[in-house]
Structure 1
Amino acid sequence: MIDRRTLILSAAITGLASSAEAQTPPPSVAGGHIAAGLPEPDETIDLWPKGAPGMPAKPPVETVDERSKDASLTDRAVRGVTRPRLVVFRPRIPNGSAVLVTPGGGYARIVIDKEGYEIARWLSARGFIVFVLFYRLPGDGWAAGPDVALADAQRAMRIIRHRARDYALQPERIAAMGFSAGGHVCGDLSTRFGSKVYAPVDAADRLSARPDVSAPIYAVQSMTLPIAHSGSRELLVGKDASPALEAAHTPANNVTRETPPTFLVHAEDDPAVPVENSLLYRAALKKAGVPVETHLFTAGGHGFGLRLAMGKPAEAWPDLFLAWARTQGLG
């Protein structure tokens, strides 16, 4: 075990060295506006030191779109990730726990602000070190196909655990949290953390990719219509996927007693990802004897994150997660 004083001093010293290494910067819009009072992150970790494996013959081009019409807010989304990476949010006073965040975007893009940076700032203000993952997208032609985002998530978890001392965290106190299609990445990681989906590249790959707790938020889960989110399903397994392929990429079918304790959130009026996605996952967790806490809200719609939950019953979810995480030894 590492005592708290050692963790804090270690982070202060080694963090300077790690930040000096040349890494791919966070996704950004050239000449784009920055929301006042919201610091932009600048620390990143490239997942693959020699480049991501299985590059398509025609590599995608990373493109960031600003979708906000409000000059006081950013609502960016990135497409065509070729250099998957973690964007790091360090707390002023670390509590020894970390969260790996996988934003959504229907597997067509990755939402930067609403399901990435906003929750990262909220969690880091409460002592968590947060790593926002910009993962490769399955529709871009990578050799790993429907396992490409899982490969990045596994690799990310192993890197975080490998560098635990650098980031003032305990390696057995790392959560995974994902939203919408990023919730599918989270669920996939939580159930298939041991699947061999890439060739090991360094010492980090000898470590477990299993999250210590998991929080899929209004998550895509089933790949079987009509419960599946059709856009995510088509990009992940294909419009004409066989029942066997659908089943293989439905996290509920892959739950075991080794799946980590799980915190589920969904709004019952979700028009995009039916609440049955979370209910089926919960049923599988219960059957396997995995502890699960579930919060279903009457109103919230889809993609509420933090900003769109304000004034709705779903607004309570972050504090509920924080209270639950403490019962699991995080925070």
Structure 2
Amino acid sequence: MDFDRRTLIAGSLAAAGFAARAEAQTPPPTASNALPPGLPQPHETIDLWPKGPPARLKAALTETVNERSADALVTDRAVYGITRPRLAVFRPDRPNGAAVMITPGGGYRWIVVDKEGYEIARWLTARGFTAFVLFYRLPGEGWSSGADTALADAQRAMRLIRHRAKEYAIDPERVAAMGFSAGGHLCADLSTRFAARVYDPVDAADGLSARPHCAAPIYPVVSMDPAIAHAGSRNLLLGPAPSLQDAAAHSPDQTVPADAPPHFLVHAEDDDVVPVENSVRLRAALKARGIRVETHLFANGGHGFGLHRAIGKPVEAWPDLWRAWTRTVGFA
């Protein structure tokens, strides 16, 4: 699709109309605690499913947000019980035409709001990217769609971003995926199974591709092999005793298609939560298929470093390395 100044102008003009429409959307997850000053919070959201998610629940859920930080100036929220999956939107002052869909981690037990969501979104918007933080349904909370629950939300979200690209002054061809930890698994699942039919189409948006332009799984859960799997994510995704077939089907290193997008991988070798072998296996699978992949393995960094926990360590270079890499694959 063509992207030019008219697209930018159309997106700017559409913003006012969208603001009114956004009022009808489900608000972003929040907690009762006062928010620290000076940190932009999202005011726009996009509900993924106008008539509700395409799956049944075993029992009712209540969306719950827990504030885990004891520091009044640093928020560290986690949300679970999501029944209205949605995108929280961060608009840059000067859009560069590219967008990033962020899938935060949380071990498929909850979704981390700040460290792997809003903090990343603010960094991106400061550099011209439009950022969409995905609050996806958790597969272990009783959805009939089982292990494909979060993937259905990710596919739908990618298609909706493209469908509404003009409203955000973005090129629908330049929408990337970035995910962290279990959200890195969802990112890799999307980048390898973007064409899998995990829900029935609901509107025109579902005629669009869910394939990201490029993908960045950061310290990702990848393999469901018990030898290197993150046990909590594996159990909540697949249950306590999955078959070998199910484990393989939900291990992105075993589902890489010939048309997978370029990948950017980051992991710390001293990660004691998600072994670095997860990224190593994904890299090997991508290379075997001839897919472009750049990999950065840092000796130190641990798990869950995001942005602020990486400060002062060599691993803090990863966002700038990602940004430089995106230029090599025609994204930014």
TM-score (norm 1): 0.98
What is aligned with 2:325?
324
CA contact (8 A) 2:213 2:331 kept: no
Instruction: Give distance in 1, aligned partners of 2:165 and 2:42.
Output: 20
What are the ranges of 5 or more consecutive residues in structure 2 without an aligned counterpart? none
Residue type at the aligned position of 2:171: Q
CA contact (8 A) 2:8 2:166 kept: no
Pick from 11, 31, 41 the counterpart of residue 29 of structure 1: 31
Shift of 1:318: 0.3
CA contact (8 A) 2:3 2:171 kept: no
Shift of 1:49: 0.4
Shift of 1:3: 4.5
Which moves more between the two structures, 157-166 or 274-283?
157-166
Which moves more between the two structures, 247-256 or 10-19?
10-19
SS of corresponding position for 1:24: coil
Instruction: Give distance in 2, aligned partners of 1:109 and 1:310.
Output: 25
CA contact (8 A) 2:187 2:217 kept: yes
Instruction: Give distance in 2, aligned partners of 1:3 and 1:264.
Output: 28
Instruction: Give distance in 2, aligned partners of 1:26 and 1:70.
Output: 22
What is aligned with 2:175?
174
Instruction: Give distance in 2, aligned partners of 1:112 and 1:181.
Output: 13
Residue 18 (str. 1) matches residue 18 (str. 2)? yes
CA contact (8 A) 1:7 1:96 kept: no
Residue 290 (str. 1) matches residue 291 (str. 2)? yes
For residues 167-193 of structure 1, the C-alpha deviation after alignment (integer angstroms, 9 at most, x for no partner) is: 111111110000000000000000000
TM-score (norm 2): 0.98
What is aligned with 1:251?
252
Residue type at the aligned position of 2:260: T
What is aligned with 2:129?
128
CA contact (8 A) 1:220 1:229 kept: yes
Instruction: Give distance in 2, aligned partners of 1:285 and 1:27.
Output: 35
What is aligned with 1:5?
5
Structure 1 residue ranges, 4+ long, deviating more than 3 angstroms after superposition: 1-4
SS of corresponding position for 1:290: coil
Instruction: Give distance in 2, aligned partners of 1:154 and 1:209.
Output: 5
SS of corresponding position for 2:172: strand
Residue type at the aligned position of 2:177: A
What is aligned with 1:183?
184
CA contact (8 A) 1:33 1:74 kept: no
* Mapping for residues 68-83 of structure 1, pairs under 5 Å: 68-83=69-84
Q: Identity of paired residues, percent?
A: 63
Q: What is the CA RMSD across the aligned residues, in angstroms? A: 0.9
Residue 95 (str. 1) matches residue 96 (str. 2)? yes
